[in-house]
């Protein structure tokens, strides 16, 4: 538990460490200006993209190749696969200082030690039983039938609980029995006590330090419950554990992506075929705590579920719980296997390459959202479009990621708009024939021969919020004109640049002047008719200005990232270009400053 160590001590400890010297023990670093550079220890690369910022406060490292980032504690944790406390202990020892402890928390850890010891005792007993118990044949035959290799059984610590009431509880060690009872591995009722797991294949559940904290058991007989799991205990909390994560980290130094599956054997079979980044969540696999744990481990998640009713329900639940937590920058996808298949059977029947291809083509969250919302709805029926709109808008309200939210609103408008929208607009929406308005007072044909410019496409929600800010306060145009990069503006952002250019060209500086220009100029009315179509409700003045400022900040970050990526690509094509190198260094420093500064 990180809370055992006071934060003030951690901050002081980090200030004592020469990060460059620490990292240089593992990485060949070379001084380059104010930073040190070398090849990243967290991924394979030919040219150095790993930078150490030793003079910054706090000192930190960042890899522009794989995104690895952190301080001295993070570096020790990742390179030596240690917990936070263990990394702090090692760093403190290096600096010659003693780690202070929270006495109350220390006492709790001491109390839990007996539970960890009891769990380890059960783990050893189950593993030994798989190898030498007289009843072991039934378990060994099951593993053979399922195609689990001895190497995988050993890596994942698979064991066997014999068909005995007191395989564990028969010990005379009262303190051990008490600890086993606390873990619910032993059940005590009045004068009787017996083992919870009997005649089952045992899967130890490990924490991030590799300690066994609970078990899952698969029946080898005709029990009503095919699988049973340890209940929660002082050392086991389902929502904080991912089955197979410790083993995955043993097999792969950097887990850039996690594949979430439903079962223990799915994880093990995938690993046996070389897909080592699969994990299974415990209990209710898609609750908020589990999702938070997943996203803290990797920001690229693929949920892989069976194609049956239960699998679809699990995927939908994961989606609904994920929406409020999603942040722009995350990548989440869904792979629903054909009905009757699970990852175990699929990888055995089709092979690892076919499974990886399925993972690579998994459905992005933005698409699965509408697949789930429209399941069972025939969208050729108008009423069903209304149902989809109502359900989707309710779900969209909880999303806090502006880019995703904008994309989903635009897609919802596309799905629910009538295919005969143009016809429903009638003559007002398209070119009319001469005579259609004959006799109508107040109508003039004086501009009919002017070239007719198509309306500017609907902007995304971020650009539309910025446009709304300009509509309320046109004088803002001068202030922001130098912050937007027209060359790298994307199609759904161009409405903002066109609106901004027009305001500057016409020297419009007040809302009254803007309203007058749009009233008397039908040409500009047509151009900007779609300017606010992606906005879902009317904002107050203060909210408009705040939203516009926030949207501009998001756009500036997006433009910066695009410019940075372009320079990086140009540099890969022309690595000897000194000017590009200088731009890259300058922008790298700016990027680090952005990373260090929380988004507003």
Tens of pLDDT, residue by residue over 31-51, are 887 789 999 988 888 888 899
Residue 409 forms part of a structural domain: no
CATH of the domain at 70: 3.90.580.10
365 in the same domain as 293: yes
Cα 67 from Cα 63, distance rounded (Å)? 5
Residue 546 forms part of a structural domain: yes
Tokens representing residue 464 in the block: 């539309």
CA nearest neighbour of 548 among 600, 598, 490, 589: 600
Most confident range, picked from 103-117, 340-354, 441-455, 465-479: 340-354
What pLDDT, in 10s, does the model give residues 251-276? 876 778 999 998 999 999 999 999 99
Residue 173 forms part of a structural domain: yes
Instruction: Give 423: exposed, middle or buried? Use CB within 10 Å, 0-12, 13-18, 19+.
Output: exposed
Position 20 pLDDT exceeds 70: yes
Cα 399 from Cα 412, distance rounded (Å)? 14
Structural domain containing residue 113: 105-229
CA 65 to chain centre: 19
Collapsed DSSP state (helix, strand, coil) of residue 45? coil
Mean of pLDDT values over 456-470: 81
Mean of pLDDT values over 344-354: 94
Residue 283 forms part of a structural domain: yes
- Measured in degrees and rounded to the nearest 5, phi and psi for residue 258 equal -120, 135
Residue 456 forms part of a structural domain: no
CA nearest neighbour of 69 among 95, 97, 50, 88: 50
Tokens representing residue 181 in the block: 């009872």
Mean of pLDDT values over 504-512: 87
Report how far apart, in Å, the C-alpha atoms of 89 and of each of 94, 96, 210, 462, 567 are: 9, 10, 18, 46, 41
CATH of the domain at 305: 3.40.1360.10
Instruction: Provide the pLDDT for residue 425.
Output: 43
Tell which of 53, 72, 95 closes a domain.
Answer: 95
Pairing status of strand 300-305 against strand 331-336: parallel
Across the strands, what pairs with 206? 212
Helix H or strand E encompassing 556:
helix 541-573
Residue of 424 and 549 predicted with greater confidence = 549
Helices marked H in 417-528 — which ranges?
Answer: 421-425, 461-472, 476-480, 494-505, 511-520, 522-527
Instruction: Provide the pLDDT for residue 591.
Output: 65
Sign of CA dihedral 511, 512, 514, 515: positive
Instruction: Provide the pLDDT for residue 191.
Output: 81
Q: What angle do CA 138, 140, 145 make, to 5 degrees?
A: 95
Mean of pLDDT values over 215-223: 94
Contact 199, 219 (CB under 8 A): yes
Q: What angle do CA 350, 356, 361 make, to 5 degrees?
A: 110
40 in the same domain as 116: no
The answer to pTM > 0.75 is no
Instruction: Provide the pLDDT for residue 449.
Output: 36
Q: What is the mean pLDDT of the chain?
A: 83
Helices marked H in 192-243 — which ranges?
Answer: none
Instruction: Provide the pLDDT for residue 536.
Output: 59
What pLDDT, in 10s, does the model give residues 374-415? 999 998 899 999 999 999 999 999 998 888 988 898 899 889
87 in the same domain as 42: yes
What pLDDT, in 10s, does the model give residues 58-80? 789 998 888 888 899 999 988 88
Position 424 pLDDT exceeds 80: no
Mean of pLDDT values over 499-527: 84
Residue of 307 and 287 predicted with greater confidence = 307
CA nearest neighbour of 545 among 486, 592, 480: 480
316 in the same domain as 267: yes
Instruction: Provide the pLDDT for residue 350.
Output: 92
Residue 431 forms part of a structural domain: no
Across the strands, what pairs with 216? 203, 229
550 in the same domain as 470: yes
90 in the same domain as 121: no
Instruction: Provide the pLDDT for residue 410.
Output: 87
Residue 199 forms part of a structural domain: yes
Instruction: Provide the pLDDT for residue 137.
Output: 96
Number of separate domains in the chain = 4
Tell which of 56, 74, 95 closes a domain.
Answer: 95
Position 104 pLDDT exceeds 90: no
Residue of 320 and 463 predicted with greater confidence = 320
Largest CA-CA distance found in the chain, in angstroms, rounded: 106
Residue of 145 and 556 predicted with greater confidence = 145
* Cα distance between the two ends of the chain: 30
- 434 pLDDT band, cuts 50/70/90, is very low
Residue 444 forms part of a structural domain: no
What pLDDT, in 10s, does the model give residues 116-163? 999 999 999 999 999 999 999 999 999 999 999 999 999 999 999 999
- 489 pLDDT band, cuts 50/70/90, is low
Position 373 pLDDT exceeds 80: yes
CA 579 to chain centre: 36
127 in the same domain as 27: no
Express as a percent the part of the chain with pLDDT over 70: 86
What pLDDT, in 10s, does the model give residues 291-303? 887 887 788 999 9
Across the strands, what pairs with 278? 259
Tokens representing residue 438 in the block: 């004959």
Instruction: Provide the pLDDT for residue 3.
Output: 47
Instruction: Provide the pLDDT for residue 181.
Output: 94
Tell which of 175, 201, 229 closes a domain.
Answer: 229
Instruction: Provide the pLDDT for residue 435.
Output: 44
DSSP labels for 508-525? --SHHHHHHHHHH-HHHH
Report how far apart, in Å, the C-alpha atoms of 16 and of each of 28, 305, 359, 465, 565 are: 22, 48, 44, 46, 35
What pLDDT, in 10s, does the model give residues 522-551? 778 878 877 777 665 656 777 788 877 887
Instruction: Provide the pLDDT for residue 403.
Output: 86
Instruction: Provide the pLDDT for residue 147.
Output: 94
123 in the same domain as 75: no
């Amino acid at each position: 538990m990180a809370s055992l160590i006071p934060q003030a001590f951690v901050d002081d400890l980090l200030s004592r460490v020469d990060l460059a010297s620490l990292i240089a023990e593992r990485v060949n670093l070379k001084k380059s200006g104010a930073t040190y550079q070398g090849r990243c220890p967290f991924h394979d690369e030919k040219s150095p993209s790993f930078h150490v910022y030793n003079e910054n406060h706090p000192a930190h490292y960042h890899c522009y190749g794989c995104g690895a980032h952190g301080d001295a504690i993070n570096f020790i944790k990742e390179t030596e696969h240690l917990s936070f406390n263990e990394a702090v202990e090692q760093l403190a020892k290096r600096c010659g200082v003693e780690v202070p402890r929270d006495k109350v928390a220390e006492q709790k850890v001491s109390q839990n030690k007996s539970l960890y010891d009891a769990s380890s005792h059960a783990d050893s007993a189950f593993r030994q039983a798989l190898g030498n118990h007289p009843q072991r044949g039934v378990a060994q035959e099951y593993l053979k039938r399922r195609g689990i290799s001895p190497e995988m059984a050993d890596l994942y610590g698979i064991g066997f609980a014999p068909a005995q009431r007191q395989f564990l509880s028969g010990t005379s060690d009262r303190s051990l029995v008490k600890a086993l009872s606390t873990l619910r591995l032993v059940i005590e009722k009045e004068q009787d006590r017996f083992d919870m797991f009997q005649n089952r294949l045992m899967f130890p559940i490990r924490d991030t330090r590799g300690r066994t904290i609970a078990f899952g058991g698969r029946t080898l007989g005709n029990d009503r419950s095919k699988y049973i799991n340890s209940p929660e205990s002082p050392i086991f909390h389902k929502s904080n554990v991912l089955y197979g994560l410790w083993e995955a980290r043993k097999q792969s130094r950097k887990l850039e992506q996690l594949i979430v599956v439903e079962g223990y054997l799915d994880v093990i079979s995938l690993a046996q075929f070389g897909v080592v980044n699969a994990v299974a969540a415990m209990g209710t696999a898609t609750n908020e705590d589990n999702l938070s744990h997943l996203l803290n481990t990797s920001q690229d998640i693929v949920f892989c579920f069976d194609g049956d009713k239960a699998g679809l329900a699990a995927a939908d639940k994961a989606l609904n719980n994920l929406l409020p937590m999603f942040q722009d920058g995350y990548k989440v996808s869904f792979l629903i296997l054909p009905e009757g298949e699970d990852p175990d059977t699929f990888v055995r029947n089709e092979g690892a390459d076919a499974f990886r291809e399925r993972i690579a083509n998994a459905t992005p969250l933005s698409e699965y959202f509408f697949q789930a919302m429209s399941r069972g709805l025939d969208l050729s029926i108008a009423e069903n479009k209304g149902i989809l709109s109502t359900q989707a808008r309710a779900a969209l309200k909880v999303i806090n990621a502006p880019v995703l939210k904008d994309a989903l609103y635009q897609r919802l408008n596309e799905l629910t708009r009538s295919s005969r929208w143009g016809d429903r607009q009638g003559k007002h929406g398209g070119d009319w024939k001469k005579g259609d308005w004959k006799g109508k007072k107040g109508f003039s044909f004086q501009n009919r021969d002017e070239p007719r410019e198509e309306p500017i496409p609907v902007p995304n929600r971020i650009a539309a919020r910025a446009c709304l800010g300009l509509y309320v306060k046109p004088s803002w145009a001068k202030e922001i004109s130098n912050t937007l990069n027209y060359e790298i503006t994307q199609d759904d952002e161009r409405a903002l640049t066109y609106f901004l250019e027009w305001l500057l060209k016409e020297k419009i500086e007040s809302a009254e002047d803007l309203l007058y220009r749009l009233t008397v100029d039908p040409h500009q009315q047509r151009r900007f008719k779609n300017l606010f179509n992606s906005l879902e409700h009317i904002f107050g003045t203060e909210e408009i200005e705040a939203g516009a400022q926030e949207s501009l900040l998001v756009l500036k970050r997006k433009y910066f990232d695009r410019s940075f990526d372009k320079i990086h690509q140009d540099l890969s094509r022309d690595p000897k270009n000194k000017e590009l190198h200088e731009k890259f260094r300058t922008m790298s420093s700016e990027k680090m400053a952005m990373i260090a500064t929380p988004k507003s």
